[in-house]
Amino acid sequence: MSKHNFLGTILLYLIYILFFYTIYIAAVQIVPYPEITAAAITLLLVITLQERFKLIIKKFFAKRYYSVLTEARQILETANSSLNSAVRYHEVTKYLVEAFTKIFSGLPYAFYLLNKDKYHLVHYDNIYDRDLLSLDIKSGYFNNLPANALVVENFKDSALPGSIIEKLSAADLISLLPFRGHTQIFAFLLINHKRISFFDDKEAKRNFVKIQKKAGKILENMALLMDLEKKNFETHKLIEVSRKILSSFDIKNILDFILSSLKSLINYDTAVIFLLDKSGKRLLNFSSEGYDSSLDNRLHLKVGQGSCGWVVKTKQIDVLDDVRTAEHYYEIRPETRSQISIPLIFDEKALGVICLESNRQAFFNRNVSEILQLFAHQASIAIHNSRQLDIMLAKKAYEHELVNAGTVQQRLLVHQFPHIQDLSITAVNIPSKIISGDLYDIIKFNDYTVGIAIGDVSGKGAPAALMMTLILAGLRSQKKTFLTVCDIVCRLNNLLYESIIEGKYATFFYGIFAQDQNKLIYTNAGHNPPIIFKTTGEIIRLTKGGIVLGFLANQEYIQNEAAFNKGDIFLAYTDGVTETMNRSEEEFGEKRLIELVKSNIHLSVFDLKEKIIEELKIFSDFKKPDDDITLIICKHD
């Protein structure tokens, strides 16, 4: 029975009861058997008026029901259409939230989005449990959900802890509606699906299911781009901090700047940087943000006291998902639910600790920890430098420690390769030293078009690494332009010429795969020619282009095209591959590389990459490479 029919039946019976009661009250004063009289008259009225009452009630509820249903259909159709035109991640979430607000009015619900390894609550309504609202949910809980499930009742097949299920059930959130991406659930809605009125209507439910199936994939695709933009922003902030350290030795000013930079990357609620005093027994607050001024007298700890004191004592990172259950936690503010503390270490000596707090449970994930470690490293250098009497020695110490920032450089490179129609892509960069002068990039334009770049900067060390960063930044800044391949390379050449030391240069190759046209459009700026391996056994070297980047200004670069058909393999590499030497100082060489690929052309791009790296290691007798090794492999599936 539908909801409006059920309510209508109840209302009809109430009217009958009211009839009986009214007639009974009147009959008490007139006839000796008022109950029998009232029942008889009521029965007569029911027989006479039943169909008319039914018709009136049906029209009343049906009109209201179909009005609500029509509105839900329109909202879902609008949301579905808006998703098709959305170009930014936040636009998609905005359209979804607007639709949920309207169609689930009055119902408790919560909408979660995946961020790294946890789902974060992004929107909710009619939920009042503070602990539930502050809870982030680990993605691993839903690994075993049925792949095609559109509704999961009572969290069947999930690994959610009983304590969380109990809280969700108490809030009437007993159904999980997954929004799947390409490989996993990228978002989900918690609600009681039995209370969703439009689920009785096939058309409205069909529109909702379309959104459910579509939104997860759209969000995942956009998240890849947003992740790249975020990495660029993180790098920009790290460079800003580096400049600040080099330009100032005011430790308070530098640490305040580090915390404000972190705030733009991590949405923490409070933060503090403690430094050890001269005695090495107490932690003093040198910089803080978000705390009420009345709490300043509590921002001083003994070594070993609380999580921060424990971190300084052990020199280990401490992540508390729920501070209320933590063994070593010193409460400064009652709102805090999770905390991360990272030691500041220079030359194996603990200098202090950075501590971030959040009002959400389990807020700090691995990605946050990695970012914080990079900033902690910078803070450690700043503290060390500020304590040096000789400014030149302090700067040299900083430059020496900067070499350890190879992890920063690796974050610039793409590690999650985009999904392109009929194209498998993989790449790898193996530095010969802590930092690399090689670079590669993968830039998705649409489902059929992707740009690939590979380069090798002259020289070694920090200058080469900075030049590599400049090339990547210049290339990515051109992503939204409609320039040709050769125009982009020409612009990069002038950018490097104006920005780098005279005599420095970089070899570079840039190409765009147009999968819908089965071709590669490219230009080669003095780089080792990438090779296309045809299914016929033919090999094509991609040599057309111009001179290396950064050597001379205003150079002309030739653009060329190459067919890239089903089964073809594209291989780009730096000279670290072919110049790998064995114990007899014999180079691996291009010929050996070509034969290796030909004999393993049936492998996937990932297996082929591993095969090449394995052969290079065997050839060099597992000796550490003398030059950086970089590979890009693409296959037309």
Whether residue 241 contacts residue 375, with contact meaning beta carbons closer than 8 Å, is answered with yes
| Residue 377 pLDDT exceeds 70 | yes
- pLDDT tens for each residue of 487-508: 999 999 998 888 766 667 899 9
| 66 and 143, same domain (yes or no) | no
- pLDDT tens for each residue of 40-73: 665 665 555 565 555 455 444 445 556 667 787 8
pLDDT recorded at residue 381: 81
| Residue 6 pLDDT exceeds 60 | no
| 183 and 256, same domain (yes or no) | no
Q: What is the mean pLDDT of residues 123-146?
A: 87
- pLDDT tens for each residue of 273-290: 999 888 888 888 888 888
Residue that wins the pLDDT comparison between 173 and 258: 173
* H-only helix segments in 554-601: 575-578, 589-599
Residue 129's alpha-carbon distances to 133, 167, 404, 541, in angstroms, are: 6, 8, 45, 64
| 415 and 522, same domain (yes or no) | yes
Confidence of residue 1 (pLDDT cuts 50, 70, 90): very low
| 473 and 614, same domain (yes or no) | yes
| 294 and 203, same domain (yes or no) | no
Give residue 167's identity as a one-letter amino acid code. K
| 437 in a structural domain | yes
| 238 in a structural domain | no
Of 352, 387, 402, the last residue of a domain is: 402
Residues near 608 by beta carbon (within 8 Å), at least 6 away in sequence:
569, 597, 600, 601, 633
- Which structural domain, as residue segments, surrounds residue 157? 86-225
Q: What is the mean pLDDT of residues 249-253?
A: 80
Residue that wins the pLDDT comparison between 149 and 169: 169
Give dist(CA 61, CA 80) in Å, integer: 28
pTM above 0.85, yes or no: no
| 384 and 515, same domain (yes or no) | no
Transcribe 252-289 into DSSP letters. HHHHHHHHHHHHTTS--SEEEEEEE-TTSSEEEEEEEE
| Residue 400 pLDDT exceeds 80 | no
| 569 and 424, same domain (yes or no) | yes
pLDDT recorded at residue 62: 46
Confidence of residue 170 (pLDDT cuts 50, 70, 90): very high
Of 344, 374, 402, the last residue of a domain is: 402
Q: What is the mean pLDDT of residues 227-231?
A: 64
Residue that wins the pLDDT comparison between 533 and 365: 533
Is the sign of the CA dihedral 244, 249, 251, 252 positive or negative? negative
pLDDT recorded at residue 549: 94
pLDDT recorded at residue 87: 65
| Percent of the chain clearing pLDDT 70 (strictly above) | 80
Q: What is the mean pLDDT of residues 68-96?
A: 79
Count structural domains, the chain: 4
Confidence of residue 203 (pLDDT cuts 50, 70, 90): confident
| 235 in a structural domain | no
Residue that wins the pLDDT comparison between 210 and 597: 597
| 240 in a structural domain | no
| 212 and 269, same domain (yes or no) | no
| Residue 183 pLDDT exceeds 70 | yes
| 374 and 416, same domain (yes or no) | no
pLDDT recorded at residue 390: 45
Q: What is the mean pLDDT of residues 152-176?
A: 90
| 435 and 420, same domain (yes or no) | yes
| Percent of the chain clearing pLDDT 90 (strictly above) | 32
Pairing of β 282-289 and β 560-563: unpaired
Residue 213 zone, left/alpha/beta (φ > 0; ψ -120 to 50; rest): alpha
Transcribe 297-329 into DSSP letters. GG-EEETTSHHHHHHHHHT--EEES-GGG-SS-
| 330 in a structural domain | yes
Of 105-114, 129-138, 461-470, give the lowest mean pLDDT range: 461-470
Q: What is the mean pLDDT of residues 28-32?
A: 62
Confidence of residue 566 (pLDDT cuts 50, 70, 90): very high
| 472 in a structural domain | yes
| 232 in a structural domain | no
pLDDT recorded at residue 61: 46
Helices 3-28 + 34-85 axis angle, to 10: 160
| 234 in a structural domain | no
What CATH number should be reported for the domain holding residue 346? 3.30.450.40
| Residue 118 pLDDT exceeds 70 | yes
Confidence of residue 448 (pLDDT cuts 50, 70, 90): very high
Q: What is the mean pLDDT of residues 150-178?
A: 90
pLDDT recorded at residue 72: 78
Residue that wins the pLDDT comparison between 580 and 262: 580
| 382 and 521, same domain (yes or no) | no
pLDDT recorded at residue 582: 92
pLDDT recorded at residue 559: 95
pLDDT recorded at residue 29: 61
Residues near 620 by beta carbon (within 8 Å), at least 6 away in sequence:
580, 581, 582, 588
Transcribe 201-263 into DSSP letters. SHHHHHHHHHHHHHHHHHHHHHHHHHHHHHHHHHHHHHHHHHHHHHH---HHHHHHHHHHHHH
| 94 and 48, same domain (yes or no) | no
pLDDT recorded at residue 26: 64
What CATH number should be reported for the domain holding residue 594? 3.60.40.10
| Residue 20 pLDDT exceeds 70 | no
CA angle at residue 359 from 299 to 335, to 5 degrees?
60
Of 57, 81, 105, the last residue of a domain is: 81
| Residue 235 pLDDT exceeds 80 | no
Give dist(CA 228, CA 304) in Å, integer: 39
